[in-house]
Amino acid sequence: MLVAGLNFVAVTALVKLVGTDVPAAQAAFLRYALGLVFILPMIGVMRGARVDRQSLSLFAARGGFHAFAVILWFYAMARIPIAEVTALNYLNPVYVTLFAALFMGEGLAARRLVAVAAAFVGAILVLRPGLREVEIGHIAMLGTAIMFAGSYLLAKRLSSQFSAAVIVGYLSVFVTIGLFPFAVSVWVTPGLEDLGWLFLVAFFATAGHYTMTLAFAAAPLTVTQPVSFLQLVWASLLGWLVFNEGLDPFVISGGALIVAAVSFITWREARLSRQVTPPPPATKV
């Protein structure tokens, strides 16, 4: 899980390096288009899966949620500090918990409701509305968390019918298709350097998902969940040392509160054997 976190922080850093040289929608499209090479080993499994029309529509819907999420994420990454992106990204599982209660009939007991409230207090600490300007990048990250939550819930439903290889493969295909028209509308000719960075983004994202899967196979979520908090530590140090972003105690404390709330929700669900809420990295690009 530690290695997975480092991989995902590398993704964040590389997107930050690309910055606004490539429009957000185009950068997101290139990340997935270049990353299609990594799903080549899955083609045989995908072709062998019996995907009916209803399942195909769910795959397409998930691709739509995910496509909007990664556009917003790339947009935010180029405009606000890495630590703030990372801290707000921890809201993904919180939205999943709320949406599972609203749309999937999951219970929302008082203790879980308090944990959700604590997570939103953490988000307020990160944003500090009224004490500083809330930028468009912050709004984009809040939208990112909502879109990723929708994507995860659809993946949860599909996971009862299809293997992880099929789900990941179809996600890559539909997200690439979904991003294409947005990318074309803002297209600029990318340089070889930017293409190289975005290919590395695809590589580290794939490596992150792979090492994260190994962690889930080796230990329960209640063990791996707290380790994911180290991503905020790495992101803060990276922003400070490489991108000259200050170490913000409000972002660290707000992120810690969000992680504590998510860890409690995960622990409660593990005790109830429900396993609905994902760890924060599970909805990464």
Give residue 58's pLDDT.
92
Distance from the Cα of residue 219 to its chain's centroid: 21
Sign of CA dihedral 83, 86, 227, 42: negative
| Residue 211 to residue 192: CA distance in whole angstroms | 29
The pTM of the whole model exceeds 0.85: no
According to the model, what pLDDT value does residue 232 have? 76
Residue spans per domain, the chain:
2-283
CA angle 204, 213, 258 (to 5 degrees): 80
Separation CA 27–CA 62 (nearest Å): 20
Contact 280, 228 (CB under 8 A): yes
DSSP 9-51: HHHHHHHHHHTTSS-HHHHHHHHHHHHGGGGGGGHHHHHHS--
What does the pLDDT profile of the chain (285 residues) look like in tens digits? Answer: 888 888 888 888 888 888 878 898 999 999 889 888 888 887 888 888 888 889 899 999 999 999 999 999 989 988 888 888 888 887 877 887 788 777 766 666 777 788 888 888 888 888 887 677 788 999 999 999 899 888 888 887 887 788 777 888 888 899 999 999 999 999 999 889 888 998 998 889 878 877 776 776 677 655 666 676 677 778 888 888 887 877 788 888 888 888 788 777 777 766 665 555 555 555 555
pLDDT of residue 103: 75
| Cβ neighbour number for residue 21 with a 10 Å cutoff | 14
Mapped onto helix, strand or coil, the DSSP state of residue 92 is helix
